[in-house]
Amino acid sequence: MALQHRYNGKTKFIIVTGGVISGLGKGVAAASIGALLSARMKVVPVKCDGYLNTDPGTMNPTEHGEVFVLDDGGECDMDFGHYERFLNVTAKKDWSLTMGRIFKMILEKERRGDYLGHTVQFIPHVTDLIKEQFYRIANQEKADVLLIEIGGTVGDLENQFYIEAARQLSHEVGDHNAIFVHLTYVPIPSGVNEQKSKPTQMSVRDLNKLGIYPEIVIGRCEEYIKPHLKAKIGLFCNLPADHIISGIDVKHVYECPLVYDAEGIPEILSKTLGIYAPPKLDQWSKLVDALKRNSVNPRKTLTVAICGKYLALEDSYASVVEAITHASAHLDLHANIRWVDTEKIENGTVSVETALKGVDAVIVPGGFGSRGIEGKIQVIRYVRENKIPFLGICYGMQLSVVEFARHVCGMQGAGTVEMESETNHVEVPVIAFLPGQEHIKDLGATMRLGGHDVVIKENSLAAQVYGSTAIRERFRHRYEVNPQYVEQIEKGDPTGANQQKLVFSGKAANEDIMQIMELTDHPYFMACQFHPELKSSLIHPAPLFLGLLKAADEKN
């Protein structure tokens, strides 16, 4: 069966693979290479994951890291966060390929009779479908460069079809239109004090066995690869020594494009692919310098507490951490993050006073489920009463409303229907299901997902922070502030003893759904139903995070 989508004769392909072990940072490496080109060319990223989930939407954050939500509602691997932050693109869900999605498409085509009765096989049918996705994206997006990252390692069984499809693609488009970049590991074993090339040699050999010969090898290492070792690796890989790149450990991932630029990757790409795209990194470099300077000799250090329950893997809140980093670079300060496990506060293992002692700002990020919920409510009450700058995100906003309803409005039994169970009845459901979500049982892609417009109340703190009354942010939730309690909550303390007022300062553009809340008589108490961290970047930090750190800086 002929390919439905074919090469357009213009797009260049950069395929990034990894070897030895996962977690070396292929996403950052791919995004950094793209960042070197994106000032002058349209770079479109594609991520290939081997797992059989159709997307990571139902996967536990402690196992796979955070789910990155795109503007079109796609739930994707967290590497798409790197792509958007480094490449200044708005990614699309079709750019995320999983083997589960590929197999689903194959079976749907087979049921429709698209294969005309032929036996459906891994080769050519699966590999052809993968190539079709590459060509289709390149053609639809009119991409100058299609940046393809193949997840996992070369030895992973589930990635073999992606690798074979990439090999075939390289053959079809020709040598000057595709280049393979291989990320591997150059360790310094304890007690040896010498860089070792054998893991890289074995990894490249495995890639060669699959018919792929990388033009660039990036060695992840603690220190720059020694010239003699570059020559040794190059000899083994049939490459000049200057095609062996030091993927040096850095304090901040935003240093990587600068390192790759200094190591000569733009020149190699220009020579191999015949493209001219000198990087423009002036503003990027200044912000990176601010991050590095404040890591060593900070103008000021702020302690920011992230209070959640997915702390077994800090990647669960990767974009929150990045948004803090972006804001700190623009404010010329250092943000020290303190991780606070709200389950420990809930079960009394640690007191909220001890957990938050000495913090300058507090964030309660998104999450799901009832575990750790009362600990988060204790945190929110503490920061409200002690006037510590605060940002609540998604679940953090919902619980801020619950806390205010309970302890200021006197609404005993206030809670969220997410806490409802056979043993726990929520008497006052100030947080309820979104319209139409009440009877949905499936978990995948059943929430309010992706980018939505938000209308902000004039003269509010939110309007001041954003500098606008019309914004667009990204959502991922199934619950909302129950509209039947909005008026009662905004009235505040019925006795008049507490002067703090809760103001719903942001609403959905075409629905009466509360999207932003803020408190009066507080230096900075903001909460939002969306995830502002998902649109934050080094060049354009998220306004709510910038406002949080600015308020903490001024309070000090």
Q: What is the pLDDT of residues 449-463, one digit of tens each?
A: 999 999 999 999 999
Q: How far is CA 143 from the centre of its chain?
A: 22
Calculate mean pLDDT across residues 251-275: 96
**97: three-class secondary structure by DSSP:** strand
Count CB-CB contacts under 10 A for residue 18.
31
Enumerate the β-bridge partners of residue 337: 304
| C-alpha span between 176 and 251 (Å, rounded) | 35
b/e sequence 417-433, b meaning 16+ C-beta within 10 Å: ebbeeeeeebebbbbbb
**154: three-class secondary structure by DSSP:** coil
Could you report the per-residue pLDDT of 229-261, keeping only the tens digit for each?
Answer: 999 999 999 999 999 999 999 999 999 999 999
Tell whether the model's pLDDT for residue 445 goes beyond 70: no
Could you report the per-residue pLDDT of 47-93, keeping only the tens digit for each?
Answer: 999 988 888 777 766 566 788 999 999 999 889 999 999 999 999 99
**Residue 441: pLDDT band by 50, 70, 90 thresholds?**
very low
pLDDT for the residue 191: 84
Q: Tell me which H or E stretch contains 308.
A: strand 301-308
Catalytic residue among 76, 256, 394, 528: 394
Nearest to 466 by CA among 457, 475, 478: 457
Calculate mean pLDDT across residues 148-158: 91
| C-alpha span between 551 and 346 (Å, rounded) | 28
Could you report the per-residue pLDDT of 344-388, keeping only the tens digit for each?
Answer: 999 999 999 999 999 999 999 987 766 778 999 999 999 999 999
**Residue 117: pLDDT band by 50, 70, 90 thresholds?**
confident
Taking the model in full, what pTM does it have?
0.92
195-200 LR contacts (CB < 8 Å, sep 24+)? 195/221, 195/223, 195/225, 195/226, 195/229, 197/229, 197/232, 197/233, 197/236, 199/19, 199/20, 200/19, 200/20, 200/233, 200/236
Enumerate the β-bridge partners of residue 31: none
**Residue 311: pLDDT band by 50, 70, 90 thresholds?**
low
Cβ atoms of residues 193 and 229 within 8 Å: no
pLDDT for the residue 327: 98
Tell whether the model's pLDDT for residue 130 goes beyond 90: yes
pLDDT for the residue 7: 92
Tell whether the model's pLDDT for residue 488 goes beyond 70: yes
Contacts of 124 (CB under 8 A, 6+ apart): none
**Residue 435: pLDDT band by 50, 70, 90 thresholds?**
low
| C-alpha span between 394 and 363 (Å, rounded) | 11
Point out the least confidently predicted range of 8-22, 258-272, 299-313.
299-313
Nearest to 8 by CA among 175, 140, 179: 140
Calculate mean pLDDT across residues 507-536: 96
Query: Are β-strands 514-519 and 479-481 bridged in parallel, bridged antiparallel, or unpaired?
Result: unpaired
Tell whether the model's pLDDT for residue 442 goes beyond 50: no
Of 419 and 183, more confident: 183
Single-letter residue type at 207: L
Residue 69 backbone phi and psi in degrees, to 5: -100, 130
Tell whether the model's pLDDT for residue 440 goes beyond 60: no
DSSP letter at 250 equals: -
531 is a catalytic site residue: yes
Catalytic residue among 82, 182, 334, 531: 531
394 is a catalytic site residue: yes
| C-alpha span between 497 and 312 (Å, rounded) | 41
pLDDT for the residue 556: 78
Catalytic residue among 149, 322, 418, 533: 533
